[in-house]
Amino acid sequence: MRIANYADLRANSCALRRLAGRRFFALLSGLVVTLAPALARAEYRMNLAAPATGLAKEVYDLHNLIVWICFAIFVVVFVPMVVALVYHRKSTGHQPSAFRDNHKVEIIWTVIPALILVGMAWPATRLVIAMKDTSKEELTVKVTGLQWKWEYEYLGDDIRFMSNMSTPQEQIAGTQAKGEHYLLEVDRPLVVPTGRKIRLVLTASDVIHSWWVPALGVKQDAIPGFIRDTWFTVDKPGTYRGQCAELCGIGHGFMPTVVKALAPDEFAAWRAEQKVAMAAAVAVPGKIYNMAELKTIGEKVYTTNCLACHQASGAGMPPAFPPLLGSKIIKGDKAGHIDMVVHGKPGTAMAAFGKQLSDLDIAAVVTYERNHWTNAIGDVVQPDEVATRRK
């Protein structure tokens, strides 16, 4: 691939250079000097991600094969063109011939490309059929795309969690050095066992998203109201990173897709641990939280779920994303505020967070919003109050 593309460029610039002579060469070297610093220190990946599944490997090989075929055709077609441009020019006194067609040649160059295409289609067809075969799965995970995070639900296991980008806002704004996995890190990755056929069933709750991990060779749109499925089997333990691939609003660039593959026994341990944790995560019934506790939890919930639209300053981006500073709803009673968070506002980008967040999380974020920035309502919301508003 690397060679192919460089050679492409070279074939090109060869033809071009002869056309323009020295002036072009001077211009080109000027450009090279300008770009040299960037070129010199680069760590360039010029091909598909290193495959981590059998299918991704086959896609990788198919792509390489096709690029080489294209490169060969490119040479066969454009070498004669370059020859003509060099030798059949007016300035060398070449006289034009007058031929205007040749049926034999025309038939040949219609049929041969068609045959080459059949040759390309054959391996591709096999691969398409394999990619679409989601039968005989050993683990099924339901993936839901939300603006702007993924929810993973291990069907039949009662394990369910959100996966949010964990890159701090400071790194995006440039006030903090960017980490190694900038924008490609999440708080909780999808955890799967190696060597098992994992089937994903995908849907979305608001707009279309697309779940994509290049190393796994999987990209599947998540479409609201419909279920789609896809599959993969990871060869080796490791962390594989990708991003949402379908424009889904302002947080589209900040919606990583991270898969952590564990050896089967480690996965079994993780699974058992999660079941215990899920049971424990239910808020302690009857516990009364104080303002400081709620605001601490609330700040985290706000950063992951609210900040993209309503901003760190609470100023929002009106009119699509209204400010929370001095907002009417926040100044109003608690019930209205809780309702807005739980049920959302249909027809706007304000999602219904009732299904995504626990009573405690909602109580905390509402308390936080009522008592942060210049908002100082002074009241606290308990999880029980949220539970009553859910009905």
Give, as ranges, the residues between 267 and 306 that touch another protein (CB under 8 A): none
Nearest in space to 248 (alpha carbons), one of 144, 331, 374 = 144
Q: Which of 152, 154, 161, 212 binds another protein (CB under 8 A)?
A: 212
| Residue 253 binds another protein, judged by CB under 8 A | yes
What's the CA gap between 50 and 65, in Å, rounded? Answer: 16
Nearest in space to 203 (alpha carbons), one of 229, 183, 184 = 229
190 forms bridges with which residues in the sheet? 259
Single out the segment in contact with another protein by CB under 8 A; choices: 51-59, 268-276, 292-300, 370-378: 51-59
Single out the segment in contact with another protein by CB under 8 A; choices: 59-67, 231-239, 274-282, 292-300: 59-67
| Residue 45 binds another protein, judged by CB under 8 A | yes
| Residue 221 binds another protein, judged by CB under 8 A | yes
Q: Is there a contact between 298 and 289 (Cβ–Cβ < 8 Å)? A: no
What is the footprint of another protein within residues 69-108 (CB under 8 A)?
Answer: 70, 73-74, 77-78, 80-81, 84-85, 88-91, 94-102, 105-106
Q: Provide the 8-state DSSP code for 284.
A: P
Long-range residue pairs from 292-296, CB within 8 A, at least 24 positions apart, any chain: 293/364, 294/363, 294/364, 294/367, 294/368, 294/380, 294/381, 295/364, 295/367, 295/368, 295/371, 295/372, 296/364
Single out the segment in contact with another protein by CB under 8 A; choices: 153-161, 223-231, 327-335, 375-383: 223-231
Joined tokens for residue 62: 């198919």
Q: Which of 142, 196, 219, 300 binds another protein (CB under 8 A)?
A: 219
| Secondary structure class of 359 (helix, strand, coil) | helix
**Closest distance of CB 145 from another protein, Å:** 12
| Residue 316 binds another protein, judged by CB under 8 A | no
Joined tokens for residue 384: 């029980």
| Residue 131 binds another protein, judged by CB under 8 A | yes
Smaller CB separation from another protein, 161 or 231: 231
Cβ-Cβ contacts under 8 Å for 177 (sequence gap 6 or more): 171
Single out the segment in contact with another protein by CB under 8 A; choices: 177-185, 295-303, 330-338, 379-387: 177-185
**Closest distance of CB 227 from another protein, Å:** 9
| Residue 33 binds another protein, judged by CB under 8 A | no
| Residue 125 binds another protein, judged by CB under 8 A | yes
Smaller CB separation from another protein, 229 or 293: 229
Q: Provide the 8-state DSSP code for 200.
A: E
| Residue 223 binds another protein, judged by CB under 8 A | yes
| Residue 135 binds another protein, judged by CB under 8 A | no
Smaller CB separation from another protein, 159 or 218: 218
User: In whole angstroms, what separates CA 62 from the centre of its chain?
Assistant: 23
Single out the segment in contact with another protein by CB under 8 A; choices: 31-39, 265-273, 298-306, 357-365: 31-39
Q: Which of 7, 10, 29, 66 binds another protein (CB under 8 A)?
A: 66
| Residue 225 binds another protein, judged by CB under 8 A | yes
| Secondary structure class of 261 (helix, strand, coil) | strand
What's the CA gap between 329 and 340, in Å, rounded? Answer: 8
| Residue 323 binds another protein, judged by CB under 8 A | no
140-56-68 Cα angle (round to 5): 160
User: In whole angstroms, what separates CA 366 from the centre of its chain?
Assistant: 30
Nearest in space to 169 (alpha carbons), one of 180, 183, 186 = 183
Smaller CB separation from another protein, 224 or 264: 224
| Residue 21 binds another protein, judged by CB under 8 A | no
Binding residues for another protein, rule CB under 8 A, total 123
Pairing of strands 190-193, 256-262: parallel
| Secondary structure class of 319 (helix, strand, coil) | coil
| Residue 217 binds another protein, judged by CB under 8 A | yes
Q: In what order do the strands lie in the sheet with 198-204?
A: 159-163, 149-154, 139-146, 198-204, 228-232
The residue with tokens 């490997």 is: 57
What is the footprint of another protein within residues 335-354 (CB under 8 A)?
Answer: 347-349
| Residue 120 binds another protein, judged by CB under 8 A | yes
Smaller CB separation from another protein, 93 or 378: 93
